Amino acid sequence: MAAEVWTVRRILQWTTDYLEGKGDEHPRLSAEWLLSNATGLSRVEIYMNFDKPLTMGERDLMREGVRRRGAGEPLQYVTGEMPFRHIVLRCEKGVLIPRPETEILVDAALEGVDAALGGADGGEQAMARVLEVGVGTGCISCSIAGEREQTIVVGTDVSAQAAALARRNAEALGLGGRVDVVECDLVAGVPNELAGTFAVLVSNPPYIPSDVVPTLPMEVQGFEPGLALDGGPDGLDVFRRLLAEAPRLLAPAGMLCVELFEENVHDAALLVEEQGGWASVEVRDDLTHRPRVLVAVRER
């Protein structure tokens, strides 16, 4: 009796149906990602190779991936990677998965970089220094360094695992020379001589109020690190500490860019205004038109 043949087409359809039955919101997309990870085919190549049989090794990889995804594990942890803006980053369980809405935070940070470079003397060596607090996978730091060659980025994270992953991502992207990752609490490891030199201080800190965390989708609360999610009673515990350090760290006219919860970002803006010393404070919407990003510029 001939062995059962699992072609790309057949396993794609079977996986889609299986994940749909497991409650996956995007079962076809998940099936494509898993199949691409198992075979090395791009998502476009999958549809050009429908009749290609999978090898035993590819079937084993696919089977394990489907099992993990069917159990609710985030797709990014299963495949080990995540596209973000113009780069692809390694992801691993224990480190927060980059979100599409964070791309808006990068846009804001790049505005601060461009403003600093535009105000420089125009020499070839003009550089903008950026500080990211809570670097995670390195998606923000690597995007900024990759999209603006005249930047030097210092990223910090209290998690040794996150700091190590961010370093690996920076190296893999050829950015290790301009992205320096420091393992420390908040900004404790940032050299004192760099105080007052940062054109931008950017952060995606823990910002979910503690009583909201248990209501998050199981895919988030069941797999992603609580350290990167829980921001205390009102979600602003880490933000308050960051705001207290910002005047010391930012250069004149430097920019503070922080991603926050839609229900506390306006409260955070009031805290910035009450602190004083800021030329402007605004809240920007994310891709779903929800208030998400706080942008404040220091006085000159």
Does the pLDDT of residue 100 top 90, yes or no? Answer: no
Interacting residues of 41 by C-beta distance below 8 A, sequence separation 6+: 8, 35, 49
- State whether 67 and 113 are in the same domain: no
CA end-to-end span of the chain: 80
Please report, for the domain that includes residue 287, its CATH number: 3.40.50.150
In a domain, 161, yes or no: yes
CA Rg value for the chain: 21
Per DSSP, 25 falls in state S
- State whether 62 and 110 are in the same domain: no
pLDDT computed for residue 125 by the predictor: 61
Tokens matching residue 104: 């808006």
Contact 248, 220 (CB under 8 A): no
Contact 78, 69 (CB under 8 A): yes
pLDDT computed for residue 1 by the predictor: 35
Q: Please, which residues bridge with residue 278 across strands? A: 298
Instruction: Report the predicted TM-score, pTM, of the whole model to 2 decimal places.
Output: 0.89
Tell me which residue range forms the domain holding 46. 8-72
- State whether 257 and 199 are in the same domain: yes
Return the C-alpha torsion angle 266, 276, 156, 191, nearest 10.
180
> Per the structure, how many domains does the chain have?
2
- State whether 173 and 287 are in the same domain: yes
Per-residue pLDDT tens for 174-208? 999 999 999 999 999 999 999 999 999 999 999 99
